[in-house]
Amino acid sequence: LSISPFIASLPKVELHVHIEGTLTPALRWNLAERNNISLPYETFEELKASYAVTLNHRPELNGRQPGIPTFLEAYFAGCEVLRTEDDFYDLAMAYLHRCAEMNVRYTEPFFDIQAHTRRGVPANAVLNGYLRAQHDAEKQFNVKSQWIMCFLRDEAVEDGLAAYHEARSWAAGTVKGGKGLFHAVGLASNAYERPPMLFEEGFSLARADGLHVTMHCDFGQKDTHDHINEAIFEVCGGEGSERIDHGLDSEDREELWRGLLERNIGLTLCPHAYHRRTATDVLFPKVRRLLERGVKVCINSDDPTLMHDVWIDGNMQKVYTYCGLTKTEMVQLARNAVDMSWAKDDVKSSIY
Ligand code: HPA
Ligand code: ZN
């Protein structure tokens, strides 16, 4: 599917992208060399080829093919080459430069802190690298960003809280002396038997600091409807999450999609991520039905380099083509992302 000039030139906002999921094989290769890390691949071609065989993340299936990592195993394996502040800076600058090329004007990337601190990388290397990129990309590429710190939901809740306390002085919101890197918390990684309510304390800490809250409810996960129900009606002292990342399974149940409408909770969808394992004529009618019911959704990439190099523009092209939307409807989807974002009003109006 090639990207049409119309999609390429649309001004875009991206609200669901994991910065670690934008690490290209080329940058990974270079960072491995720079940091004297040996990768389990003899050649760059072999490394590149390894990106094509990542299975969908199904941790409940133990009988998977040996040697082929699950999606999240591949994602965290990629992180291994990220060691120094410059590595995180280079990763972020590469993505933000790509944003400029795709006419993404503003983005709210997710970052994992625990994925790095648990390997012995100091939190300040991660945070200062991203902070420097946030400033430089705005100046050099005119791409603005406000970041989202994710709790790793398959790690102990206490570890997430500790990570939050470490990261807190890089926050925006009402944090005194906060450096302004991130303005929200999210919930990512393996959702298997890890419902959102386990992290209620983390969400309330963040809210007390004036930060926003969002959380993943991955498509097709075990207990996905229960997780979505918690995200809409139970978390944040019953007020619900401000957005839901994915949440496509809400389409199956009227009480869920009505809940999204009533509470004005938007979904950050990543169509290509689902399309990898869902038939076109099942997936895109599902997205269409959500749109027809008036659920607010926006289109994003998730982990583009681990998902066949399909970025936000490729995801938009898929929806445009396979949902059979008009140009006006596509413009509305692009505007939904502006509305759903937590950008300041002047930033929003500069994109709109
Ligand atoms: N799901 C959950 N957590 C993640 C993902 C994902 O697809 N990518 C990076 N962290
Ligand atoms: Zn995601």
- For residue 182, report the distance from its CA to the centre of ligand 1, in Å: 18
CA distance readout (Å), 112 to 14, 76, 151, 313:
17, 10, 7, 24
Our measurement of the distance from residue 339's CA atom to the centroid of its chain's CA atoms, rounded to an integer in Å, reads: 17
Residues ≥6 apart with Cβ < 8 Å to 122: none
Give start and end residues of each alpha helix (H) in the chain.
Answer: 5-9, 25-34, 44-50, 71-79, 85-101, 114-117, 123-141, 157-167, 200-208, 224-229, 254-263, 271-275, 280-292, 312-322, 327-340, 345-351
pLDDT of residue 70: 83
Neighbour-count burial for 287-316, b at 16+ CB within 10 Å, e otherwise: bbebbeeebbbbbbbbbbbbbeebbbbbbb
- For residue 235, report the distance from its CA to the centre of ligand 1, in Å: 20
For residue 10, give the nearest of 105, 115, 129 by alpha carbon: 105
- Which three-class secondary structure state does DSSP give residue 321? helix
What is the best residue among 17, 56, 57 to mutate for testing ligand 1's pocket, by most ligand atoms within 8 Å of CB?
57
**Atom 1 (ligand 1) nearest CA:** 189
CB of 183 within 6 A of ligand 1: the answer is no
Q: Is the pTM of this model over 0.90?
A: yes
CB of 21 within 6 A of ligand 1: the answer is yes
Atom of ligand 1 nearest to the CA of 18: 9
pLDDT of residue 283: 98
pLDDT of residue 206: 98
- For residue 230, the one-letter residue type is E
- For residue 245, report the distance from its CA to the centre of ligand 2, in Å: 7
- Give the separation between CA 336 and CA 269, rounded to whole angstroms: 12
Atom of ligand 1 nearest to the CA of 188: 3
- Give the separation between CA 97 and CA 291, rounded to whole angstroms: 31
CB of 218 within 6 A of ligand 1: the answer is yes
**Atom 4 (ligand 1) nearest CA:** 189
What is the best residue among 16, 17, 18, 95 to mutate for testing ligand 1's pocket, by most ligand atoms within 8 Å of CB?
18
CB of 16 within 6 A of ligand 1: the answer is no
pLDDT of residue 52: 80
CB of 245 within 6 A of ligand 1: the answer is no
- Average pLDDT across each block of 10 residues of the chain; the chain has 352 residues. List them in order: 97 98 98 97 94 63 61 94 98 99 98 98 98 98 98 98 98 94 98 97 98 97 96 98 98 98 98 95 98 98 96 98 98 98 96 86
Ordered domains of the chain (ranges, CATH): 5-341 (3.20.20.140)
**Atom 5 (ligand 1) nearest CA:** 189
- For residue 55, report the distance from its CA to the centre of ligand 2, in Å: 16
Q: How many CB atoms lie within 10 A of CB 141?
A: 17
Residue 159: Cβ-neighbour burial (10 angstroms; 0-12, 13-18, 19+): middle
pLDDT of residue 352: 80
pLDDT of residue 60: 54
**Atom 6 (ligand 1) nearest CA:** 189
- Give the separation between CA 195 and CA 87, rounded to whole angstroms: 32
pLDDT of residue 65: 58
CB of 188 within 6 A of ligand 1: the answer is yes
Are 57 and 190 in contact, with CB atoms under 8 Å apart? yes
CB of 112 within 6 A of ligand 1: the answer is no
